[in-house]
Chain A
Amino acid sequence: MVWLTGGCVALAVLMIVLLLAFIFWQGIATFWPGPLVMVKTRDGATFLGEPTRRETYLAPGSSQPMTRVLYKTGNFDVTGSHFNWVNDSDVVEKSEPRWALVIERVEWGNAYGALEGVTDGNVSINDPAQAWQRFGELHGAGLKQLTASRLIVRTAQGKLVPADRAKENEPLLVSQVVRAYPANQLGLGGKVKVYFSRWWEYLSADPREANTEGGVFPAIVGTVLLTFIMVVVAVPLGVIAAIYLREYARQGLLVTIVRISVNNLAGVPSIVFGVFGVGFFCYLVGGSIDHTFFADRLTFHKTALIWASLTLALLTLPVVIVATEEALAAVPRSMREGSYACGASKWQTIRRIVLPRAMPGIMTGMILAIARGAGEVAPLMLVGAVKIAPELPISLHPPFGLNRSFMHLGFHIYDLGFQSPDSEAARSMVYTTTLLLIAIVVTLNVSAMVLRSRLRRAYSAAKF
């Protein structure tokens, strides 16, 4: 029996560890700069790109399994595709050219090629080494806004990488470049630098290219704000409701029914809460607010951060109520009696004795609510999470951005994975974003736990 029970625990632990390790590894590896490889194939085509993965497949009409490598070849504006498969059997020449550059652009994704020259107004440099130096000066010195500065880049396919397809012979604007590095010349230090610069961009910048590039800063802000408002609403409400149920209400059939209903509410599918949120908060409450206070100008009568937070608060309320009720019930009778015997009123007893004593349990409820609420996506799709929010849901002026739509990491993952125009490009971002979401939920939980253990120590045996 001990083997069966222990085995089940081991299996559960193993699955969780595998899940976390997989996401962690995939998420961590995303931004590491790999080598740039140039391959020539038997039919004369040349590809320059970053190898992303290798697979074995069965070509139609052949019984022999073959291997092929997926190269991220970029230059989408020239070639029309970000990725190319190259069969290993077709490769006639393979090299890692020293001059190959990875150029991350604001638009059209990455460009891969060699720098041939820089035109800077009337000055033009045609020596690659000098051009690279000049580019570094222009790019690094915050001169990105110089619209006249252009890079002349030779690609594997042809002469130039234009800034956009309409003007095919226009070279690449320096202002369009996010980051450029000679991938095959980087030492470990250089790679680390690129790696962290990418992470920093990821955490602090707005998304680009239909969310497949750039950062997720708005989604981080949205997630944290959403969770914060949810906690601020759900915890006081739930604690007060639990105090009534446990301390004031006469325990009987009615209270039992209420308690069972609350418990069952925790099991309602979250999408149902989303539907309710749209119908009740967005349309009914929001509509009424607009009608009453904003002369029917569209302000709250739409999906918004505040409505999403309230919907999540509703969703997590049962968790808080149940946990708080249990914490209140666990306060020993002797403590209450001691307080009453001192002449304390009921409310004084609750406020000074029962609530402090129950606080660690209430914190547990809060932690569970955060864990449940922060990872919830389904209801958010209905009440306010969007693919791209034009502005952060923060403002100094009433209504302080609460009525804006927002981005959310959970929804961002769904959007990247399943709604992206180029799922291959978004693939690595899915892992990174998942890692980030897990990190944020864990951070919120851990800080609540630290707070709880502080309280616990305060109410058991330590200094105040």
Chain B
Amino acid sequence: MIDAKSPQTATSPAAAPVTPAGDRTVPKPQPAPAPQPAPPGAAAKITTQPEADIHSELASETHIISVEDFNLYYGETHALKNINMGVPKSKVTALIGPSGCGKSTLLRSVNRLNDMIDTVRITGNMYVDGMAIYKRNVDVIELRKRMGMVFQKSNPFPMSIFENVVFSLRIDGEGRKSVLQETCEKALRGAFLWEEVKDRLHESGLSLSGGQQQRLCIARAIAAEPEVLLMDEPCSALDPVATSKIEDLIYNLRGNYTVLIVTHSMHQAARVSDYTAFMYFGSLVEYGTTATIFGNPHLKQTEDYVTGRFG
């Protein structure tokens, strides 16, 4: 599978600048009203971070998400330390690293789901298609509508399978039955669930098995045709059969969607992703093509982790 994405022909010849021209001057986070220069000594800490080893292949990709000098604090805990990275468009990028290293936090920062937590403070910024998302008067709801998200634990809504899938359309006020039905079928087919549930679309989403529920959540995430699909360990609670179905699905999503996936399973990262970022204790350590990260990493730390010697 890995060699399927091996031709490194860059989609855009000119090295796309990691930093699009955005107004980074106002990196004030919306949810945290705390004054900007966050904790005393934060700047000093950041400077002591070693630079992440970002491989040169990434520079030739078009980046749909750019993360710049991104820091996130849960209260006093410095959870993400000066992250700088770009996520290539229409590719699958995996985030790996030991538990608690900030992978999920980084993922949840992309659609600003961390806004829900009162104690979170953020410095730095992220750009989606060149638009700074941590800025005053960013429409968070519009931002989230451009992204789909699949969670670690499947979380179908307490409604029918059909309503689950078309939830995004419903909240946009879409009421035309034909549109809803078309979308539902397309999304369920996309999530390889259609054949299993086509005869019981009006049963509760909670009546499905665990693997089906997770694929239902994927169908829900892709129903609104988002630009970016965020996946937070989507297979961690599933058996190998369901896992392989979902991995096939993710593999097939490349090209149409940009997928950012957090995973604990090295094999999964190796199987499904084009690029892999290794994170450790809130910092980005190494980031490159999946083949390089798993086959020939630049850093000893990465090698130790992917070969299972620690972590």
Contact = CB atoms under 8 A, between A and B. Distances in A.
Contact of B202 (A250, A341, A461, A463): A463
A342 B206 CA distance: 18
B171 A462 contact: no
A460 B204 CA distance: 7
A392 interface: no
Given A342-B224, A356-B158, A337 B116 contact: yes
A341 B158 contact: no
Interface stretch (B22-30, B82-90, B143-151): B143-151
B153 interface: yes
B229 to A, nearest CB: 11
Contact of A341 (B144, B159, B170, B203): B144
Interface residues of B, number: 33
B158 A338 contact: no
B207 interface: yes
Interface string B197-241: 000001110110000000001001100100000100000000000
B204 to A, nearest CB: 6
Interface in B101-160: 111, 113, 116, 118, 141-142, 144-145, 147-149, 151, 153, 155, 157-160
B60 interface: no
Nearest to A333: B116
A340 B116 contact: yes
B158 A357 contact: yes
Nearest to B168: A342
B192 interface: no
Contact of A459 (B155, B158, B167, B172): B158
Nearest to B217: A338
Interface stretch (A89-97, A344-352, A400-408): A344-352
Nearest to A349: B171
Contact of A335 (B118, B157, B230): B157
> Most chain-B CB neighbours within 10 Å: which of A335, A337, A348, A459?
A337
B167 A339 contact: yes
A334 B151 contact: yes
Contacts of B220: 338, 342
A6 interface: no
Contacts of B206: 459-461
B27 to A, nearest CB: 23
User: Main SS of chain A's interface residues?
Assistant: helix
Contacts of A342: 144-145, 148-149, 167-168, 171, 220-221, 224
B153 A458 contact: no
A48 B153 CA distance: 80
B204 A464 contact: yes
A345 B168 CA distance: 11
A378 B202 CA distance: 49
A344 B118 CA distance: 19
Given A334-B155, A341-B144, A464 B113 contact: no
A166 to B, nearest CB: 72
A459 B156 CA distance: 11
A463 B201 CA distance: 10
A343 interface: yes
Given A337-B151, A338-B151, 17 more contacts: A250-B118, A335-B157, A337-B113, A338-B157, A340-B144, A341-B221, A343-B144, A344-B167, A345-B141, A348-B171, A352-B171, A357-B158, A460-B204, A460-B206, A461-B207, A464-B202, A464-B203
**For the complex of A and B, 8 pairs with smallest distance between CB atoms:** A343-B145, A341-B149, A459-B158, A334-B155, A343-B144, A338-B155, A461-B207, A342-B168
Interface of A: 250, 332, 334-345, 348, 352-353, 356-357, 458-464
